[in-house]
Amino acid sequence: MPPEHVFPTDEWRIVESRFSESYYAQCETVFALSNGYLGVRGAFDEGRPARSPGVFVSGFHEQWPILHAEEAYGLARTGQTIVNVPDATTLKLYVDDEPLFVDTARMRQYARVLDMRAGTLTRELVWETAAGKQVVVRSCRIVSLAHRHLMAVIYDVVLPEDSAPIAIASMILNRQDVHLREDPGRRQIADPRRATLLPHRVLNAEVVEIQSDRILLGYRTTNSHMTLGVGVEHVLEAPPEVRLNVTLDADVGEAVLTADARPGVPIRIIKYITYQSSRTGPSAELVARCGRTLDRAIRDGPDALLASQRSELDRFWDDADVVVVSDQGARMRQAIRWNLFQVCQATWRVEGAGVPAKGLTAQAYEGHYFWDTEVYLLPFLSYTQPRIARNLLRFRHSMLSRARARAREINHDGALFPWRTINGDEASAAYQAGTAQYHINADIAFAVRRYLNTSDDDAFLVEAGAEILVETARMWAALGFYAEDGRFHVHNVTGPDEYTTVVNDNTYTNLMARLNLNYAAASLRGMRVDRPAAHAALVAELRLRPEEPDAWERAAAAMYVPYDERRGMHPQDANFLEREVWDLDGTPPDHFPLLLHYHPLVIYRHQVIKQADVVLAMFLLGNEFSQEQKRANFDYYDALTTGDSSLSACIQSIVAAEIGEDQIALEYFHSALLMDLADASGNTSDGVHIASAAGVWQALVFGFGGVREYEGALSITPHLPATWDSLTFSLRFRGRRLEVHLTHDDETYTLVDGAPLELTVRGEPHLLAAGTGLTRPAVPTQPVPSGAGLGPETAARRS
């Protein structure tokens, strides 16, 4: 559970009840706000104490030439890093010239609240100044889900009983480049998971303009030549004698309010902040757009802004909420909602861009998009917010031309999607855990298939899906080869587990590639029948030769899948079982994550796992494994899994639930659930693990809920933990809405609307009509003894 002293139980809110020296860095992440286009870290209004404050705009990035210490052909050449755009959230308060800083101020009251229904971050505090005056400060920060370019801060100050001269300095600061002035010798921190500290000026001001109380800035980045407009306006609700003095240069703007506060007379500043970005457009044009956004925001006023925010979130929660009732239910619901809220924030208004590994909550991983989107976020989105799922898949489709170019560059056919990117170009400089993760192609094809199977958007196949399927299948056909054994092999690839790289026949990769090849061929066949014109157009555009789909199916049929007959399990790759087994029990606890303490060669030569790999395949392609194989594989790999990746716990939980390992499933679920709220992986301050946050939903719905979709058919085999009273969630499936309510007494499946649904429950087929429900008695959960691999040390790694 989250640290109670920091976040007391509150179902819909995260409350920081006092300043914590040891936790404020994490709180910058926990209290981050975003709408998928704009993101702001949860730094204090005063701008300090702060660990790494920042504001980010989706897709707005700088480039830099990667200087490989040793060059090789085809290595990624251009680094990409999301820019920390000028931060306008800071407001510094001075009373009797004494500044307010929450770490040193004497507080009579204090609460900072993330409200997950209101979509606001508010802070209410009563500060007693050195002179003994009581100052009530209330602020409300909002990143609008309805108006994607708009943020606002509503800042209220009142001295109930005293008079005092006060000043409020409202800042705008270019944090991206500030280190060049403040600390030019600052060294890069050697953690591969953080962002590169760019040594050059990134943001070059092209517009620097004050219009009365309005600040307008236009920038162009040095290397990527992207443009940014920033607009800030202050609306005062205060006695008329209050003055605002605005100064501005390219990097720093300041609007200083000075007033003589009188007892009980409130002073309010509403600070509207807007950002507009473009790949190439003139910054002056963006600045003009900023002006119009500010005009509209001021016209509508703060109440409308807050109302629209709540309305958007009502829509989100209506589909997304998952309710667990149990002893600790309220606390668990709080944590679940915080995770789902993060996915909402990361994706709600993402349009024409991807979802960074940390959403827009930090600069870590350079703001890059990985496979997280397809494998971790899209299941949740496909089943609850198909609009967003479509947007993200469309964005992938928009990368196809660069993916084709990349495939050609490194001597493959078709398209190879980048392992990590912002603009579509491969930015993964180290190929072994980057470009070698060819499975991204199949992950995307898989996501296309799921979206087509779960949505009612059949047009998507023609619009974008088929092209992705063809080009990814072509890559696999060229990458693999028929060896002497007559089987189709895929060599020198890295699977999901990054602790074993550049291997032959990674089981996950080969299984996913097989699906990719078969599904591409089947989709084309279906198109030829159902939409012959579209099929003909596609064939012409992609110069598809008739024999290609046949070759894909041949390769798929011949695909080699490693299997160890003796153990009855699937080796992670062709040679995995030949490796030395890592001595996890003998590894000092402070040597995790291993990647920060051992040379890659040392890690790679051992049987040790960073994250679910075969286990992930058993979840995604569960119909291709027997129950015995699932048990054998899970037992084997669970004992080797460090969980050094945040992508692991949710998947391990799902499969543990499926094979009846309730206790393990719950432990992994808690691990995912508290990944960031309790800083379980020690780097919450570097941003939200968005994939894990979406994985929480997967663990609930696919794990304990037992939902699966194989071959387009929906099935449910619940695994309600013995310690839970009930689990309630809903799904969208091909235009319908299905509600599921599970208890230990009975289970109810209600089709709210749409066409009749074939639903398999615990292996029995049912046909549900709209507006009807199926209620059946629950199957009692058997306490299952833990697997052999679950000693106390293993459990410790899970927690």
- The set of catalytic residues is 498
Q: Which is nearer to a second copy, 190 or 529 (CB)?
A: 190
CB of 605 to a second copy, least distance (A): 4
- Of the residues 4, 21, 22, 67, which one makes contact with a second copy according to CB under 8 A: 67
Q: How far is the CB of 68 from a second copy (least distance, A)?
A: 6
DSSP 543-611: T--THHHHHHHHHHHHB----BTTTTB--SSTTGGGSEEP-STTS-GGG-SGGGTS-HHHHHTEE-BSS
3-state secondary structure 124-186: EEEEECCCCCEEEEEEEEEECCCCCCEEEEEEEEECCCCCEEEEEEEEEECHHHHHHHHCCCC
Max CA separation in the chain (angstroms): 89
Non-local CB neighbours of 74 within 8 Å, separated by 6+ positions: 409, 410, 411, 435
Q: How far apart are CA 309 and CA 95, in angstroms?
A: 33
**188 near a second copy, judged by CB under 8 A:** yes
Give me the least distance between CB of 428 and a second copy, in Å please. 7
| Cis status of the peptide bond prior to 593, with omega within 30 of 0 | yes
Is residue 504 within the footprint of a second copy (CB under 8 A)?
yes
Distance, in Å, from the CA atom of 720 to the CA atom of 778, rounded to the nearest integer, reads 9
236: nearest Cα among 252, 212, 209, 210: 212
Residue whose CB is less far from a second copy, 580 or 764: 580
Q: Give the number of other CB atoms < 10 A from CB of residue 146.
A: 17
Q: From the CB of 596, what's the least distance to a second copy, in Å?
A: 6
Do the beta carbons of residue 122 and residue 131 sit within 8 Å? Answer: no
Residue 183 and residue 198 in contact, taking contact as beta carbons nearer than 8 Å: no
Nearer to a second copy, 275 or 371 (CB): 371
> Cα-flanking dihedrals φ and ψ of residue 780, to 5°?
-60, 135
Q: Is 429 in the site for a second copy (CB under 8 A)?
A: yes
Closer residue to a second copy in complex, CB, 190/796? 190
Using CB under 8 A as the binding rule, whether residue 574 contacts a second copy is answered as yes
Q: What are phi and psi of 310, to 5 degrees?
A: -65, -40
Give the binding range for a second copy (CB under 8 A) out of 217-225, 228-236, 431-439, 446-454. 431-439
Choose one: 64-72, 391-399, 643-651, 675-683; the region binding a second copy (CB under 8 A): 64-72
Residue type, 583: D
Select 368 or 798, whichever has its Cβ closest to a second copy: 368
Provide φ and ψ at 53, rounded to 5°: -65, 155
Q: State which residue, 333 or 406, has the beta carbon closest to a second copy.
A: 406
Cβ-based nearer residue to a second copy, 103 or 409: 409
**Dihedral pair phi/psi, residue 267, rounded to 5°:** -120, 125
Q: Cβ closer to a second copy: 187 or 299?
A: 187
Only segment of 184-192, 382-390, 717-725, 733-741 that touches a second copy (CB under 8 A)? 184-192
Q: Report which secondary-structure segment, H or E, holds 430.
A: none
Binding mask of the shown chain, residues 587 to 626, with x at each position contacting a second copy by CB under 8 A: --------xxxxxxxx-xx---------------------
Told to check if 74 binds a second copy by CB under 8 A, we report: yes
Is 430 near a second copy (CB under 8 A)? yes
Of 61-69, 253-261, 315-323, 777-785, the segment contacting a second copy by CB under 8 A is: 61-69
Decide: is 68 part of the binding site for a second copy (CB under 8 A): yes
Q: Which of 128, 191, 458, 541 binds a second copy (CB under 8 A)?
A: 191
Q: Is residue 190 within the footprint of a second copy (CB under 8 A)?
A: yes
Backbone angles phi, psi at 595, to 5 degrees: -65, -20
431 binds a second copy (CB under 8 A): yes
**222 near a second copy, judged by CB under 8 A:** no
Look up tokens 């990647």; give the residue: 595
Is 459 among the residues that bind a second copy (CB under 8 A)? no
Type and span of the H or E element at 462: none
Among 328, 432, 748, 760, binds a second copy (CB under 8 A): 432
Considering only residues 27, 76, 95, 166, which one is a binding residue for a second copy as defined by CB under 8 A?
76
Please, what is the minimum distance in Å from the beta carbon of residue 214 to a second copy? Answer: 39
Q: Is 198 in the site for a second copy (CB under 8 A)?
A: no
CB-count burial class (<10 Å; 0-12, 13-18, 19+) for 747: buried
Cβ 9 to a second copy shortest distance, Å: 39
Tell the smallest beta-carbon distance from residue 429 to a second copy (Å). 3
Under the binding rule (CB under 8 A), the answer on residue 576 touching a second copy is no
Rounded distance, CA 387 to CA 732, Å? 11
Q: Is 567 in the site for a second copy (CB under 8 A)?
A: no
Based on the shown chain and the rule CB under 8 A, indicate whether residue 66 belongs to the binding site for a second copy.
yes
Site string for a second copy, 481-500 (x = CB under 8 A): x-x-----x-xx--------
Cβ-based neighbour number of residue 53 at 10 Å? 19
Compare residues 596 and 755 and give the one whose CB is closer to a second copy. Answer: 596
Integer Cα distance of 173 and 46 in angstroms: 12
Q: Which stretch binds a second copy (CB under 8 A): 17-25, 107-115, 141-149, 183-191?
A: 183-191
Nearest approach, Cβ of residue 480 and a second copy (Å):
9
Shortest Å, Cβ 483 to a second copy: 6
Region 677-716 residues binding a second copy, contact defined as CB under 8 A? none
What are all long-range contacts of 542-546, with beta carbons under 8 Å and residues at least 24 apart? 542/467, 542/470, 542/471, 544/470
What are φ and ψ of residue 344, in 5° steps?
Answer: -55, -50
Identified binder of a second copy from the candidate list 160, 165, 192, 785, rule CB under 8 A: 192
Using rule CB under 8 A, residue 580 touches a second copy: yes
**First-to-last CA distance in the chain?**
10
- In the complex, the smallest distance separating the C-beta of residue 84 from a second copy, rounded to whole angstroms, is 20
Taking the least distance from each CB to a second copy, the nearer of 75 and 298 is 75
Cβ–Cβ under 8 Å, residues 717 and 706: yes
Smallest distance from a second copy to CB 395, Å:
24
Told to check if 774 binds a second copy by CB under 8 A, we report: no
Q: Which stretch in 62-70, 635-643, 660-668, 776-784 sits in contact with a second copy by CB under 8 A? A: 62-70
**For a second copy, the closer CB: 252 or 602:** 602
- The least CB distance from residue 393 to a second copy, in Å, is 27
Residue type for position 363: Q
Which CB, 299 or 599, lies closer to a second copy? 599
In degrees, to the nearest 5, what angle opens at C-alpha 137 toward C-alphas 134 and 141?
170
Q: What is the DSSP string of 259-298?
A: EEE-TT--EEEEEEEEEEEESSS-HHHHHHHHHHHHHHHH
| For residue 49, cis peptide bond before it (omega within 30 degrees of 0) | yes
Number of residues that bind a second copy (CB under 8 A): 50
**Which C-beta is closer to a second copy: that of 74 or that of 791?**
74
Q: What is the DSSP letter of 49?
A: S
- Cβ contacts of residue 614 below 8 Å, gap of 6+? 507, 508, 570, 572, 633, 637
Compute the least distance from the CB of residue 642 to a second copy, in Å.
Answer: 14
Cβ atoms of 412 and 439 within 8 Å: the answer is: no
Site string for a second copy, 77-106 (x = CB under 8 A): --x---------------------------
Identify the residue among 547, 565, 578, 764 touching a second copy (CB under 8 A): 578
* Interacting residues toward a second copy by CB under 8 A: 66-76, 79, 188, 190-192, 409-411, 428-436, 481, 483, 489, 491-492, 502, 504, 574-575, 578-580, 595-602, 604-605
